[in-house]
Amino acid sequence: MAERDAAAEAEAQVRAQAAVTPRRRIGDHGIIGDMETAALVAADGTIDYLCWPSLDSPSVFAELLDAEQGGAFEIVPALDDARVLQIYVPDTNVLTTRWMASAASVEILDLMPHPDICGDAGLDRRCLIRQITVTRGTVRFTARCRPRFDYAREVPEAAAVDGGVRFAGRALTMRLYGSVPVQAAPGEAVAEFTLGEGETAWFVLGDDALRRPDDAGVSGDITETTKAWQHWLSRTDYRGRWREAVLRSALALKLLTSDRHGSIAAAATFGLPEAVGAGRNWDYRATWIRDASFTVYAFMRLGFIDEAEHFRQWAGKRVMASDQDHPIRIMYAIDGSHAKDETELPHLAGYAGSRPVRIGNGAHAQSQLDIFGELMDSVYLSNKYGAAIDHAGWQHVRGIVDYVIAHWQEPDAGIWEMRSEPRHFLHSRLMCWVALDRAIRLAKKRSLSAPLVAWSEARDAIVEDIWSNFRHPEHGYFVQSRGGTELDAALLMMPLMRFVSSTDPVWLTTLDAIGAQLRDDGLVYRYRGDDGLDGQEGAFTTCTFWYAECLARAGRLDEAQLILAKGIAYANPLGLFSEELDLRGEPIGNFPQALTHLALISAAYFIDRRLDPSYRPNWQP
């Protein structure tokens, strides 16, 4: 009966997708940014998503979520039957969109100036730069900038000013300048112009303090931003066989990292659906302790120690500002303040009709005990390969351990933030064990004062609980929750966290069961059971890479390479991943997702080392 219900729900999902066709698909985008905010650039050259001035600020462009009223920045060349391609300038987050037709060819460079050079090369403020060049022939263009402030709840007043257009709203004012004449129209700016072969035009969009730039300033920021990204990426010594995918993942993760604060967002977007036509539409523009801690591990594997240390300092401030009842929260706003409450935006149509569109995230009020393990693992690694923990920091770590010892036996919402009744999830138990294990290791490594006997007893009690109460009654493999029979792809973290040997017979039985029940070729689902939400969720892209790494750790390298190759093939043409994939392998969910990119880095890194024992990067876990 359950299988028939799941099949019927899957068919309904396919019908819903067919019924509402989005103007632009989630996967048809690249991302640009300046480590304060980010924009999505569609494959047709339209910027249809941008929040300003910060990643978690209200949107300025959100046509991806509402084709009629969301707002967008279009540049349209008059070319019939043009083929359109997108690539990044190598080793950067500078995006090129190229039109190629029989009559002419065009390219647009999109970027935000890198924070290391902002104000030095030419422009004096953070901004968005769009440079258009005709590389062959003569082309007529139409550009329309239609910002819609405050999540498309406000149409700003557009007025000509200083050779550009000023968009004035209640809480935000922006300016658009161009090297070609720009006209103000109701709620928008419009430019029509013609360029011949070799000619260039540009537009710059920024806040109200932006001064009118000149050609040299724009050109300088493009050149210096390109160099800044390439210089940053040159710090890694990764030279494995999946270099292109790994380095693109690193660049995507860097865009989700706050240059100002050190926090790391889970994704750049809000409201993009995990199931088209259903209500699984969440806001990921916040820092989850779990996701960010895993990102630290990925950065460190690639040699980006500064990013790991910056996050450790940010997280340390959160811990020090906490109280005994809540030593750390599940998620925070980018600036470290409390995460925003969940709110619906009923005026937005939603991507492919997927409503309600939500901002904020109600999961911040849940109990998710696993976060202490992820945090302590990142603290342990940062101390092992970076700066040593200070006395005050260690006292807060002891507070975290005390909290885990007092609460590890409680039910919670788990890693997947279930909105059903709390349960005793194995993954949460596992990460409570990790919290204690890493604290004990750190205390011994640094000779720090701690009640090691009591901590060890609690750690061992968790081990006994997992082995006794989280096994399938008939088959003996590990299961999602205490006393249950369902599987969960989060169990793939067990060998990755070194709780169980990668070749333990019980673990190998669990790995095979996950492959048989949660995998569809290269797609891996988080779980199959009811999670208290409408709609059938898609395959979770992160889990594919966890599965590949577990296969490699079990010595099944041929299978691991195949799964890794299949997983990478599900990236969009620019190498970016959304949160999930639908039944056709199309990207769904928020985009790009940090958790997937860091899992790809981890899997590729480990498989490289197994395939070539002589491969020894500078940093090794």
Residue by residue, DSSP assigns 99-165 as EE-SS-EEEEEEE---TTTTTTSS--S-EEEEEEEEEES-EEEEEEEE--HHHHTB-PEEEEETTEE
CATH topology of domain 34-233: Beta-galactosidase; Chain A, domain 5 (2.70.98)
Residue 460 has pLDDT above 60, yes or no: yes
Q: Where do the DSSP E strands lie in 315-464?
A: 331-332, 343-344, 358-359
Residue 534's pLDDT band (boundaries 50, 70, 90)?
confident
Residue 616 has pLDDT above 70, yes or no: no
Cα–Cα dist 397/372, whole Å? 10
What is the structure's pLDDT at 53? 97
Contacts of 274 (CB under 8 A, 6+ apart): 280, 281, 282, 535, 537, 538, 579, 580, 588, 589
What percent of the chain is modeled with pLDDT above 90? 83
Composition of the chain by helix, strand, coil, percent to 5? 35, 20, 40
Q: What are phi and psi of 198, to 5 degrees?
A: 85, -5
Q: Where are the domains of the chain?
A: 34-233, 243-611
What is the structure's pLDDT at 103? 96
Whether pTM > 0.75 for this model: the answer is yes
Cα–Cα dist 542/563, whole Å? 12
Residue 591 DSSP class = S
Beta bridge partners of 581: 539, 587
Residue 73 has pLDDT above 70, yes or no: yes
What is the structure's pLDDT at 198? 97
Residue 212 DSSP class = P
254-261 mean pLDDT: 97
| Inter-residue contact 490 to 437 (CB < 8 Å) | no
CA-based angle 604:607:611, to the nearest 5? 135
Residue 14 has pLDDT above 50, yes or no: no
Q: Do domains 34-233 and 243-611 have the same CATH topology?
A: no
What is the structure's pLDDT at 313? 87
Cis peptide before 53 (omega within 30 of 0): yes
Q: pLDDT: is 105 or 387 the higher one?
A: 105
Cα–Cα dist 561/558, whole Å? 5
The 10s digit of each residue's pLDDT in 510-520 is 999 999 999 99
Q: Cβ-count burial of 583 within 10 angstroms (0-12 exposed, 13-18 middle, 19+ buried)?
A: middle
If you average pLDDT over every residue of the chain, what do you get? 93
Place of tokens 């279930």: 418
What is the structure's pLDDT at 17? 45
Residue 5's pLDDT band (boundaries 50, 70, 90)?
low
| Inter-residue contact 115 to 221 (CB < 8 Å) | no
Q: What are phi and psi of 97, to 5 degrees?
A: -115, 130
The 10s digit of each residue's pLDDT in 537-548 is 899 999 999 999
The 10s digit of each residue's pLDDT in 492-533 is 999 999 999 999 999 999 999 999 999 998 899 999 977 777
Residue 396's alpha-carbon distances to 321, 334, 432, in angstroms, are 10, 22, 16
The 10s digit of each residue's pLDDT in 412-421 is 999 999 988 9
Taking the mean position of all CA atoms in its chain, how far away is CA 457? 37
Residue 613's pLDDT band (boundaries 50, 70, 90)?
confident
Cα–Cα dist 457/152, whole Å? 55
Q: Cβ-count burial of 307 within 10 angstroms (0-12 exposed, 13-18 middle, 19+ buried)?
A: buried
| Inter-residue contact 414 to 425 (CB < 8 Å) | yes
Specify the CATH class of 243-611 in words: mainly alpha
- In 3D space, the residue among 387, 112, 40, 93 whose CA is nearest the CA of residue 231 turns out to be 93
272-298 mean pLDDT: 92
Contacts of 352 (CB under 8 A, 6+ apart): 16, 17, 20, 21, 22, 273, 276, 277
Residue 19's pLDDT band (boundaries 50, 70, 90)?
very low
Residue 338's pLDDT band (boundaries 50, 70, 90)?
very high
Number of helices (H), then strands (E), in the chain:
15, 27
What is the structure's pLDDT at 16? 47
Residue 123's pLDDT band (boundaries 50, 70, 90)?
low
Tokens of 339: 């995460």
- In 3D space, the residue among 251, 245, 266, 307 whose CA is nearest the CA of residue 114 turns out to be 251
What is the structure's pLDDT at 122? 47
> Can you say whether the dihedral through the CA atoms of 175, 178, 183, 186 is positive or negative?
negative
What is the structure's pLDDT at 432? 98
Contacts of 203 (CB under 8 A, 6+ apart): 73, 75, 129, 130, 143, 145, 176, 177, 178, 179, 182, 191
